[in-house]
Amino acid sequence: MSTKGSAPREIAVPVSMFGSLRAELEREAGTLPTVHALHHAGYASGVAAAPSLAGNGESDHGALGQEAFWSRFSDFFDKRGWGKIRHEQRHRAVGILSSTDWAEASATEGGPEASCHFTTGFLSGILSELAGGPVAVLEVGCRMRGEGTCQFAFGSEGAIHQLYGRLLDDADLDGALAAL
């Protein structure tokens, strides 16, 4: 347990934990409750992990330039075994985080749906905490669906809701972003 103001205690677990946890939850509770449970647990974990991102006690991430912030953000995940993550600002209201080796997505399991439910919650929690307000995250690409890259769109709840609606209307990501 961490003390107030210190980074939370961390442990290492095998990546297979994500698949095992998802499978057991689905077996016990069903698909939709599993998605919600993993997302909520991820969000709470992301909020708790936000102080660890500073590492050296810095708390003003706004003082960092964008390039330095996203480099630190990527290093945070890479050093903990999540994978390398890259930031792109492809729309003024929506950023994209991409990874070709993201830990929660197993390219060997496969399925028709996006599967990084814990990650979407975790990213929302950590970004919301760092931004000082709500940041919504939507998984828009997944290696488990056979895509080469996991992609997570993030922005305001309104922008992400609009993006989701456009994606449901069969728009591809670039088309959906262009239509926002």
**pLDDT for the residue 64:** 73
Per the structure, the complete domain to which residue 52 belongs is given by 16-179
Element (H, E) at 103: none
Average pLDDT over residues 137-150: 89
Domain membership flag for residue 10: no
Q: What is the CATH number of the domain that holds 60?
A: 3.30.1380.20
Domain membership flag for residue 98: yes
The fraction of the chain above a pLDDT of 70, given in percent, is 87
Domain membership flag for residue 152: yes
**pLDDT for the residue 1:** 46
Question: In whole angstroms, how far apart are CA 170 and each of 147, 154, 161, 163, 167?
Answer: 16, 19, 15, 11, 5
**pLDDT for the residue 63:** 66
Domain membership flag for residue 9: no
Average pLDDT over residues 155-179: 92
- Read off the pLDDT of residues 32-83 as tens digits, 9 standing for 90 and up: 999 999 999 999 999 999 998 865 555 555 567 889 999 999 999 999 999 9
Going along the chain, which residue ranges are E strands?
Answer: 86-88, 94-99, 136-141, 150-155
Q: Give CA–CA dist 121/83, Å, rounded.
A: 17
Half-sphere exposure of 38 (CA within 13 A, CB side): 25
Domain membership flag for residue 5: no
Domain membership flag for residue 40: yes
- Read off the pLDDT of residues 18-41 as tens digits, 9 standing for 90 and up: 888 988 999 999 999 999 999 999
Average pLDDT over residues 130-150: 91
Domains held by the chain: number: 1
Q: Give CA–CA dist 23/54, Å, rounded.
A: 33
Q: Give CA–CA dist 5/80, Å, rounded.
A: 21
Residues 6+ away with beta carbon under 8 Å from 153: 94, 95, 96, 137, 138, 140, 160, 163, 173
